[in-house]
Structure 1
Amino acid sequence: MQFTQVKLSKREYFFAQPHQPFFALGMINALIFMALFIPAFRGLFDTNAKFLHAYSMIFLIFTNFFLGFLFTTFPRFSGTPPIEPRRYLMVFLLNFLASLVFLIGIWVPFLWFVAPIFMVLSLTLTLKEFYGIYQKCMMPKQDQYWLIVGIGSGAISNLLFLLSLIPCSCKSTVFYDTAVNFGIYLYLIFVALVVAFRMVPFFSHVMEYKKSRFLYASMFALFLLHSFVSGIYPKALFLIDLIAALVVAYEIKKINLPFPNKEPLLWILHLALFWLPTALFLGSITEFFESFFGWYSFKLPLHLLALGFLMTVLIGFGTRVTLGHSGNALRVDRAGILIFYFTQIVVLGRIMFSLAASFGHVAPMFDISATLWILLIIAWLWKYFEVLAFGKRLP
């Protein structure tokens, strides 16, 4: 008896695997909200440009990449069956509604109170799903535990962003500042760190590596300390980030990665991992000069982590997952390699903006830096969108 494989329609294929709708939404949001941030930053329309940029980046862009990857890999980490489509599609729907409402909220401000509520529901369902898997897991589950802790920190950050929108006569920015620190350090960077230290050695076939027992606990504690000290005694920030850089650098040295590596899908991940201690170290130096010499870097330490480490690792993981789950060979052609190189031009552009802006020359480096981000997203979508969304086979 012969069985023929049922051919899925484009719509059915698009929603058949969790990474596809989430990655697509994250990429589209990355284009839209950066394109809107440029005129908002310049004051061309009346909106809170800082909130627009911070919230959209953390919860409408990077969160979608995270969930697309984790809804695929978290069950595999745990040796449990894949998550049912109806479960991850409910989370996707909430993320889509949050994105749409937040976009309209740029011109209808009260809707910005609604978008975080959708994200509360999204993150709650995600945590419920992952905690259920964690309870069933019969394998070592330190990574799963800390991923849940990191996502929980993201949920707290989301609530703090919501509280920061409530008018207050005290003029305090404590809710907003804490929301940003929790969202970047305890959520985005920490979750990406856990995934990277789990997957990069595995993809690199470094099987003898054993993580330090307290790596995750120590990094979470340092990031938590960073989040609170930044508002209480910022002069100590450089020391905290320097210690974090040394902890991570020591751990990476233990892995003994095969770098340099001729395989692009590996060296982009290695490069991203090397960026983590590098960004923390450069950020520490920057924070020292900011605290003791009054230099303002326009959030350079944060952006070194968000672009050097986070963006690079997501482009690397995203490309690998997109190719591997579409039935394509895990190889990157010249155009794909150029996209990988271009990630570093985006990082360099943001560094140049901070240097220029610190001397009073905001334009044109702001526009150049933001445009480089947009060009990177366009290039990736041009190369891989049909592969991601419809399973196009590459030559």
Structure 2
Amino acid sequence: MTMLQTVRDHLAAAPHRSLFLAGALQGVLTVLWWIFDLTGRYGIAGSMTAWSIVPTWAHAFLMIYGFFPFFIFGFLFTTYPNWMNGEKVKPQEYIATCALMAAGVVLFYAGLLTHKVISITGVELMLAGWSIAVYVLFRILLTTPAQDKRHAQVASVGLLMGWLGVAAYLVWLVTDSAVVLNFARHAGIWFFLLPIVLTVSHRMIPFFSSRVLDNYEMVRPFWMLWLMLACIAAHGCLQWMELTTYLWIVDFPLAGCALYLSYRWGFMRSFQVSLLAVLHVSFAWFGIAMLLYTVQSLVYFASGSLLFGLAPLHAIGIGFFSGMILAMASRVTLGHSGRPLELDRITWLLFLGFQATAVIRILADLIPAIAPMFYVLAALVWLTCFGLWAVKFAPIYWRARVDGKAG
């Protein structure tokens, strides 16, 4: 057997392998592209480049729909059968999902440099890969015996909304309709990513905590999850309709619930185990972000001024989403490669670097005078930390498990 065949077989041995590898590569590429654009745009290095798509909306698409989904599908392809005792996802299904989405991302970049039509083709391929994933996960959801499927049901609805968001972005590329672009932007955060990451947190953080902390009371109130999901959906709708004045009505209870869960899930105790602490720290950013949204909406209600700019969005996007992806991907990678479930010092430091990225990016919104330099600095810190994480973890995906087991 040749080395190439061996690598191919290892990548196909489990759902997370190819998808996490593609996500790791895309995480590096998308921020490299963004740094190139920012430094040229602000005259820091090079010159401004003409792209076929407005760079702000290309950046948003690449992060929301072209980076996080690789990790989300890799995680859910692994956990759905475990959560519901369903059939395993077939190799041809998760390989097809990964191949189509990765090819779509490559064409999207090529189109940015050349012609929008190529980017449109790329988004069509991504949508095809996404369609396979949605079909497979819904099949598992609907064909497994009756049991508690609440977390999977919410995640499935979130995936469907994400599919609609990609489809809306595709329509925008073809028609330039501002209405569908706004839907794609807000659906990606509030109808796709946030419901899924919150729901996975609700299921997994208390479970993981109960496994390693002594005398741990597992708190998992479903009424609070439903309340939070309702507030998230309402926030998304209000933002889509540009009714910023009224966001505080739903953001305040959302912040209260998130901070309460951080406390009840044992935020301070989590630091006894670093692999657990990264989950708790990431989730704490959710409560902080919603507090920022609440204050900003109240100030806007009183004065018409957007006090924090995009700071709340980046608290969610970098602090919560990126941090949780890094935490969950590290855990899944270690556990499913036969390695001890322990976070070494280097990975812990890289995770702390992610926290610095969030703080730097938030400061850029709070202090306009330093914004351009801090935009680039935040991207550089993110790229350094994620790039080093990718260098450390990516080779695991094309190698055999260290314990000799299959998968």
TM > 0.5: yes
Could you tell which deviates more after superposition, 239-248 or 76-85? Answer: 239-248
2:281 corresponds to which of 258, 266, 271? 271
Alpha-carbon distance in structure 1 between the residues aligned to 2:380 and 2:242: 35
TM-score (norm 2): 0.87
Which among 63, 78, 102 is matched to residue 108 of structure 2?
Answer: 102
The verdict on how the C-alpha distance between 1:392 and 1:133 changes in structure 2, with shifts beyond 3 A counting, is closer
| Partner Cα separation in structure 1 for residue 232 and residue 335 of structure 2 | 33
**Alpha-carbon deviations, 1:35-79, whole Å to 9, x = none?**
112333444211211121111001110010101111111110111
Instruction: Give the counterpart letter for 1:213 in structure 2.
Output: F
Looking at structure 2, the residues matched to 261 and 365 of structure 1 have their Cα atoms a distance apart, in angstroms, of: 29
Structure 1 residue aligned with 2:165, among 157, 164, 169?
Answer: 157
Alignment-derived partner of residue 219 in structure 1: 228
CA distance in 1, matches of 2:308, 2:178: 19
The 3 A distance-change label for structure 1 pair 204 and 175 is same
Aligned letter for 1:91? T
The one-letter amino acid paired with 1:102 is: F
Mapped to 2, the partners of 1:236 and 1:323 lie a distance apart of: 44
Aligned residues: 382
| Corresponding residue SS for 1:129 | helix
Mapped to 2, the partners of 1:236 and 1:247 lie a distance apart of: 19
Q: Distance in 2 between matches of 1:301 and 1:111?
A: 33
Q: How does 1:19-30 map to 2 (within 5 A)?
A: 19-30=16-27
Code of the aligned partner of 2:168: L
Q: Does residue 242 of structure 1 match 2:257? A: no
Q: Distance in 2 between matches of 1:59 and 1:232?
A: 22
**8 A contact 1:186–1:220 mirrored in 2:** no
Q: Secondary structure at the match of 2:174?
A: coil
Counterpart of 2:131 (choices 115, 120, 124) is 124
Question: For residues 248-287 of structure 1, what are the structure 2 equivalents within 5 Å?
Answer: 248-256=258-266, 259-287=269-297
Residue 253 to residue 165, structure 1, CA distance change in 2 (3 Å): same
* Matching of residue 382 in structure 1 with residue 388 in structure 2: no
Q: What is aligned with 1:178?
A: 183
- Aligned partner (choices 40, 46, 57) of residue 51 of structure 1: 57
State percent identity of aligned pairs: 23
User: Larger deviation: 252-261 or 140-149?
Assistant: 252-261
The offset of 1:232, in angstroms, is: 3.8
Q: Is the 8 A contact 2:15 2:78 kept in 1?
A: yes
| Secondary structure class of the residue paired with 2:272 | coil
- Alpha-carbon deviations, 1:311-330, whole Å to 9, x = none? 11111111111111111111
- Stretches of structure 1 that go unaligned for 5 or more consecutive residues are 1-7
The answer to whether the aligner puts 1:310 opposite 2:321 as a matched pair is: yes
Residue type of the partner of 2:378?
Answer: S
Contact preservation (8 Å) 2:353, 2:382: no
Q: Runs ≥4 in structure 1, deviation > 6 angstroms?
A: none
- Matched residue type, 1:155: W
Q: Structure 2: where are the runs of 5+ without partners?
A: 42-47
CA 1:374–1:391: 2 relative to 1, 3 Å: farther
Q: Decide which moves more: 35-44 or 124-133.
A: 35-44
Cα distance in 2 for residues equivalent to 1:216 and 1:122: 29
Deviation larger for 282-291 or 313-322: 282-291
Selected match of 2:15 from 4, 7, 18: 18
> Which has the higher mean CA deviation after the structures are superposed, 285-294 or 329-338?
285-294
Q: Say whether residues 1:135 and 2:139 are aligned partners.
A: no
Are 1:202 and 2:207 an aligned pair?
yes
Q: Deviations over 1:226-260 (max 9, x none)?
A: 12212342111233211211233334444456724
The aligned residue for residue 337 of structure 2 is: 326
Alignment deviations for residues 328-347 of structure 1 (CA, whole Å, 9 cap, x no partner): 11112221221122121111
Partner of 2:44: none
Task: Indicate which of 138, 150, 153 corresponds to 1:145.
Answer: 153
- Structure 1-normalised TM-score? 0.90
Aligned-partner residue type, residue 220 of structure 1: L
Residues in 1 aligned to 2:268 and 2:298: alpha-carbon distance in whole angstroms: 34
Give me the CA root mean square deviation: 2.2
Residues 329 and 162 of structure 1: CA distance in aligned 2, closer, same or farther (over 3 Å): same
Looking at structure 1, the residues matched to 311 and 172 of structure 2 have their Cα atoms a distance apart, in angstroms, of: 23
- 1:329 is matched by which residue type in structure 2? P
Query: Deviations along 1:15-36, whole A, 9 cap, x unmatched?
Result: 2111111111111111111111
- The one-character-per-residue Cα deviations of 1:282-304 (angstroms, maximum 9, x if unpaired) are 22223433553524644221111
Q: In structure 2, the residue corresponding to 1:140 is in which secondary structure?
A: coil
Give the stretch that moved more between structures: 379-388 or 310-319. Answer: 379-388
Distance 1:345-1:389 versus aligned 2 partners, 3 A rule: farther
Aligned partners of 2:387 and 2:182: how far apart in 1? 31
- 1:69 aligned residue: 75
* Helix, strand or coil at the partner of 1:328: coil
Q: 1:113 corresponds to which residue?
A: 120
